[in-house]
């Protein structure tokens, strides 16, 4: 039932802080209403010098308790709600994201924060997760992924009437940015050598990644219905993740790509020898099912690459190579973004391993100014000496 008594809580000063205590109704595991006392920091005395100012802030903090439609919230530990989250929320994600979120919950979040109640995950408690992952030697990216999953979990808990705060990213102390390793990319020469050495149809699969920059999952998910060979266009509409046909990574990944004439000719010849399958896929296994990219990478790509003596690199090196080649050819950044299907233009910094031509020209012009000045100074010194 909703509360009938208006509540303001007890506000008092503790050192340099204003602290508010109030009572709130919650539902225990048995579904019974239990009244618990809650405590929260209102602010510092330097920011709220008088109790009247602190009271205004405190009233806003507990106004939800006095709402006419207020209902008792549910209480659970992080461990308990994590099981609910993994069972009911994760399956709504794409399979790869679902697997990742479940792993982050089970391996990182539950062992560190599992014993805390959801309403206690604030202040220094989320920092415990950061510190534990740092001690394990995990990367900053992994730590951010774990925190994002924790934030999603707390948000779902609030939506379902659990007592749960939001994750305050401003109060977290994250590790410093790490030195990124240079991304491996295939040069046009390396890519073409592997295309020429690959047997059919894998030469076509490699060509899709090298010439068009499609992702591996997009390449092994291409169907004949997505190709307009007369118009020379590929419609990127689906992907293949571990043998399952899914939508592409994001809305920006849905794109129409021009197919070069050399690839059109390869496709027309392959279509004459293509073995039909129920999905109309260009690349399928012996049973006509969607093929897994790990097989192609392990048994086809690396075998050919090692035989040709090309340094180690996986499928994504084709994609990085195309981004670099397009930038070197003077392509507009927006064109490269559309070709690769990136939602954020800043992603090009990771894919295009080249200094923009206008930046190079500006540096060279500036260097020539230094050289001219140096030559002039040398002439003056020579006249003085003589």
Residue 174 contacts residue 255 (beta carbons within 8 Å): no
CB environment 91-113: b (16+ within 10 A), e (fewer): eeeeeeeeeebbebbeebbbebb
Helix 95-104 to helix 140-159 angle (10° resolution) is: 100
CA 101 remoteness from chain centre: 12
User: Contact, 9 vs 19, CB < 8 A?
Assistant: no
What are the distances in angstroms from CA 91 to CA 106, 197, 249?
15, 41, 16
User: Which pLDDT value is given to residue 1?
Assistant: 46
pLDDT of residue 69: 74
- CATH class of the domain defined by 188-350: mainly alpha
Give residue 144's pLDDT.
96
User: Mean pLDDT by 10-residue block, N- to C-terminus, for the chain (386 residues)?
Assistant: 70 94 79 79 93 93 80 86 96 93 97 92 93 94 96 94 89 84 88 95 96 94 96 95 91 93 96 95 93 89 95 92 86 86 74 61 76 66 62
**Could you tell me if 127 and 173 are in contact, meaning their C-beta atoms sit under 8 angstroms apart?**
yes
- Alpha-carbon distance 112 to 131, whole Å? 10
Alpha-carbon distance 167 to 155, whole Å? Answer: 9
Cβ atoms of 226 and 234 closer than 8 Å:
yes
Q: Which two tokens stand for residue 211?
A: 């010439």
pTM over 0.85: no
What proportions of the chain, in percent to the nearest 5, are helix, strand and coil? 50, 15, 35
Q: Which of 293, 279, 241 is nearest to 94 (CA)?
A: 241
């Amino acid at each position: 039932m909703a509360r009938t008594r208006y509540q303001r809580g007890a506000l008092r000063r503790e050192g340099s802080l204003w602290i508010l205590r109030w009572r709130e109704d919650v539902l225990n595991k048995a579904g019974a209403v239990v009244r618990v006392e809650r405590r929260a920091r209102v602010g510092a005395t330097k920011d709220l010098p008088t109790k009247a100012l602190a009271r205004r802030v405190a009233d806003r903090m507990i106004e939800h308790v006095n709402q006419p439609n207020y209902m008792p919230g549910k209480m659970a530990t992080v461990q308990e709600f994590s099981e609910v989250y993994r069972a009911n929320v994760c399956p709504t994600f794409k399979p790869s994201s679902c697997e990742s979120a479940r792993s982050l919950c089970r391996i990182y979040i539950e062992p560190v924060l599992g014993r805390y109640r959801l309403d206690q995950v604030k202040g220094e408690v989320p920092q415990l997760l950061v510190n534990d992952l740092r001690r394990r030697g995990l990367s900053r990216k992994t730590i951010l992924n774990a925190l994002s999953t924790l934030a999603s979990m707390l948000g779902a808990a609030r939506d379902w009437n659990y007592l749960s705060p939001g994750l305050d990213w401003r109060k977290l102390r994250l590790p410093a940015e790490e030195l990124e390793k240079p991304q491996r990319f295939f040069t046009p020469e390396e890519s073409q050598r592997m295309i020429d050495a690959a047997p059919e149809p894998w030469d076509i699969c490699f060509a899709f990644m090298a010439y068009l920059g499609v992702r591996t999952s997009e390449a092994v998910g291409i169907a004949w219905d997505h190709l307009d060979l007369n118009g020379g266009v590929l419609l990127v509409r689906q992907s293949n993740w571990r043998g399952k046909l899914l939508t592409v990574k994001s809305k920006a990944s849905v794109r129409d790509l021009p197919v070069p004439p050399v690839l059109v000719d390869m496709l027309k010849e392959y279509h004459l020898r293509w073995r039909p399958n129920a999905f109309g896929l260009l690349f399928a296994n012996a049973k006509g099912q969607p093929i897994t990219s790990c097989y192609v990478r392990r048994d086809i790509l690396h075998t050919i690459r090692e035989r040709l003596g090309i340094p180690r690199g996986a499928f994504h090196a084709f994609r990085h190579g195309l981004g670099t080649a397009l930038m070197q050819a003077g392509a507009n950044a927006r064109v490269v973004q559309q070709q690769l299907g990136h939602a954020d233009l800043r992603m090009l910094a990771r894919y295009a391993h080249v200094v923009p031509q206008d930046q190079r020209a500006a540096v060279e012009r500036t260097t020539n100014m230094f050289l001219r000045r140096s030559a002039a100074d040398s002439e003056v010194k020579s006249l003085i000496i003589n």
